[in-house]
């Protein structure tokens, strides 16, 4: 049976890249987004290239469950891929109520519309582990989120697990590390135009605005060069993980979760230097104080995903940095 996929957050970078790939593979997709941290650019691409298999509703998931129920009744999805949510760690510390309302209530509303015939894949995050001294992180590492954003992901995971056990909803939570890069068709890009919080869109904004340097938050961490270390993963590898999770989900008993990362820690300075090198650019570094909510080191042990999903990250840091910039040049 070919899945009918309901994608929340379909206009965003990760949700949009997944939607694009799913449509290329011939799936029927209904997208939902409220454009709170995206635009309609990706939706217009889907409507142009995949008109027969794509439909869309602009909807605030956290506040309109009645309209959401109508979508479920009309589209009849067999699986929901729940990407929608606010995603900036730093902003979550400044606007905690907004993050709790948006991220957790949207998950609650999705769960109220599900039954045992509709499965769920949830876009979780490595931030659920917090500033853990145990690296690399396995799925058995302590759950100690240090940011409001991470806490909303833990709360959503808990709600999903509870619904899986009580209502028989088969669910998988995918704990992402740090996705960058672009789909290989260079059609879907991460928004850099407003006030991006993540490093890659900030790098791209720096170049596009003809700025000389990028601000780095903290150079006094106990790492090899003093800057924070993250596990960067190519968005194409991340999307492949979702496709394999869709294949797996019918075989699980009720609920499971997987880390999606490369297992390779990369410092902020290493990422910037690689971005400069592969794209023949010269972004300079400007150090500032640490940013609240950021952790020192965070990288995955992806062994469980490799064993149970048959998934492994394939694309290297150089390709991530090259594709991030090539996609921007292609669409702007």
Catalytic positions: 149
Contact 174, 241 (CB under 8 A): yes
Looking at the DSSP bridge assignments, the partners of residue 82 are: 8, 122
CB 112 within 8 A of CB 71: no
Question: Across the chain, where does the E strand assignment appear?
Answer: 4-8, 28-33, 54-58, 79-82, 119-125, 171-176, 178-180, 213-217, 229-230, 232-234, 255-260, 266-267, 284-288, 297-298
Indicate if the alpha-carbon torsion angle 62, 64, 67, 72 is positive or negative.
positive
CB of 87 closer than 8 Å to CB of 254: no
How far, rounded to the nearest angstrom, does the alpha carbon of residue 165 sit from its chain's CA centroid? Answer: 25
Helices and strands in the chain: count of H runs, count of E runs: 12, 14
The answer to whether the Cα torsion of 286, 289, 294, 297 is positive or negative is positive
> Which whole-number Å values give the CA distances from 96 to 17, 104, 125, 155, 257, in the listed order?
28, 12, 17, 14, 25
Tokens representing 122? Answer: 């949830």
- What is the CB-side half-sphere exposure of residue 226 using CA atoms within 13 A? 9
CA–CA dist 29, 6 (Å, integer): 6
């Amino acid at each position: 049976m070919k899945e009918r996929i309901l994608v929340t957050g379909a206009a965003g970078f990760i949700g949009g890249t997944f939607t694009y790939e799913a449509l290329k593979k011939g799936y029927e997709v209904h997208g939902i987004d409220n454009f709170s941290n995206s635009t309609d650019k990706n939706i217009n691409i889907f409507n142009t290239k995949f008109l027969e298999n794509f439909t869309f509703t602009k909807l605030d998931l956290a506040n309109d469950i009645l309209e959401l129920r109508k979508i479920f009744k009309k589209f009849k999805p067999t699986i929901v891929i729940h990407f929608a949510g606010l995603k900036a760690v730093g902003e979550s510390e400044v606007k905690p109520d907004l993050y709790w309302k948006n991220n957790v209530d949207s998950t609650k509303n999705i769960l109220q519309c599900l039954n045992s015939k509709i499965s769920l894949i949830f876009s979780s995050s490595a931030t659920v582990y917090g500033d853990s001294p145990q690296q690399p992180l396995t799925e058995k590492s302590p759950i100690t989120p240090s940011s409001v954003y991470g806490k909303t992901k833990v709360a959503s995971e808990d709600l999903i697990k509870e619904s899986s056990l009580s209502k028989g909803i088969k669910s998988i939570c995918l704990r992402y590390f740090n996705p960058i890069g672009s789909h290989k068709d260079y059609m879907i890009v991460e928004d850099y135009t407003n006030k991006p919080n993540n490093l890659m869109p900030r790098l791209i904004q720096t170049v596009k605005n003809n700025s000389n340097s990028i601000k780095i938050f903290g150079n006094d961490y106990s790492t090899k060069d003093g800057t924070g270390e993250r596990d960067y993963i190519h968005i194409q590898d991340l999307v492949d993980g979702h496709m394999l999770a869709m294949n797996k989900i019918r075989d699980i008993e009720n609920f499971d979760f997987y880390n999606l990362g490369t297992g390779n820690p990369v410092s902020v300075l290493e990422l910037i230097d690689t971005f400069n090198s592969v794209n023949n650019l010269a972004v300079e570094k400007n150090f500032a104080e640490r940013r609240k909510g950021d952790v020192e080191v965070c990288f995955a042990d992806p062994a469980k995903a490799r064993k149970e999903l048959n998934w492994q990250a394939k694309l290297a840091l150089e390709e991530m940095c090259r594709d991030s910039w090539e996609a921007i040049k292609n669409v702007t």
